Amino acid sequence: MHVHSFLPLLGFSLVHLGTASHGAYHPHQKRDLQVSNSLPEAWSSSGCYTDSVSDRALSRDGYAADDMTEGKCIGYCDQKGYSFAGVEYGTECYCGYQVASTSSQTADSDCSFPCGGANGEACGGSDRINIFTNGVAGPVENPGIDGWTSLGCYTDSQSARILSTYEPVSDGIVFVRGCTEICQQNGFSYAGVEYGQECYCGNEILATGMPAAPESCDMPRTGDRTEKS
């Protein structure tokens, strides 16, 4: 099981069969800055958004560098297949498939910290993130199939699984149809897909799991970015 460094609790898509603290960088005094007019192809600015260490607007991936620029962050996220990229606090870069519902757009002037590697570019602020997108649709939730109904996203962890049984899937590719078929064949009434390629089954939701925000389950399944897991 993999633990993603930018997401404290892994999202877990569940279906049922009926029946960081900031680094040492200290930006110059806040001032009016502009988004770069030479962003990578197909990418555009979405504006300035609220963000926090405990509840990231973009939480799937990221890194920090003293020479951060908008273009470098976008290039990093784009190469990994993400639809959104964001720069914050001058030197931080974050990636994701969608912006968290807890984040809201705010005034562009709130994102007034210069980028560490481009003094004239805006790289967010304190709890403010400049977000960019390439317009590519992220993965979507499968509402259920063949008698199974989606129960939404739940928290899960390696040490405290909410479904009791891991079921390997051929070729290492998990998606809702494949996982539910395996669970049903083995007599289970709950199925869950996680981390793009993992399938779990059980006959009850264990007390260690709690409902989570939909964007916590936005990782596309391995081999196909159209369906969430």
Tokens of 116: 């560490």
pTM (whole model) above 0.85: no
Q: Give the number of other Cβ atoms within 10 Å of residue 84's Cβ.
A: 23
* Other CB atoms within 10 Å distance of the CB of residue 106: 17
Provide the 3-class DSSP secondary structure of residue 24: coil
Report how far residue 156's alpha carbon sits from residue 10's, in angstroms, rounded to the nearest whole number: 6
What's the chain's average pLDDT?
83
Both tokens assigned to 204: 């009850």
pLDDT at 204: 94
User: Quick check: 151 pLDDT over 80?
Assistant: yes
pLDDT digits (tens, 9 = 90+) for 79-102: 988 999 999 999 999 999 889 989
**Cα separation, 60 vs 56, whole angstroms:** 9
Question: How far apart are alpha carbons 210 and 190 in whole angstroms?
Answer: 15
> Distance between CA atoms of 195 and 218, rounded to whole angstroms?
9
- pLDDT (average), residues 184-205: 92
Q: Distance (Å, rounded) from C-alpha 199 to C-alpha 99?
A: 26
pLDDT digits (tens, 9 = 90+) for 41-66: 899 999 999 999 999 999 889 999 99
Strand partners, 154: 12, 211
Q: What is the 3-state secondary structure (H, E, C) of 150-206?
A: EEEEEEEECCECCCCEECCCHHHCCCHHHHHHHHHHCCCCEEEEECCCEEEEECCCC
Region of poorest pLDDT, from 26-30, 84-88, 171-175, 196-200: 26-30
Which two three-digit tokens encode residue 224? 């196909």
| pLDDT at res. 220 | 75
Cβ atoms < 10 Å from Cβ of 202? 18
What pLDDT is stored for residue 146 in this prediction?
84
Q: What does the alpha-carbon distance between residue 109 and residue 130 come to, in Å, rounded to a whole number?
A: 11
Instruction: Identify which of 125, 121, 126 has the alpha carbon closest to the alpha carbon of residue 113.
Output: 125
Tokens of 59: 């939480």
Please tell me the predicted confidence (pLDDT) of residue 192: 92
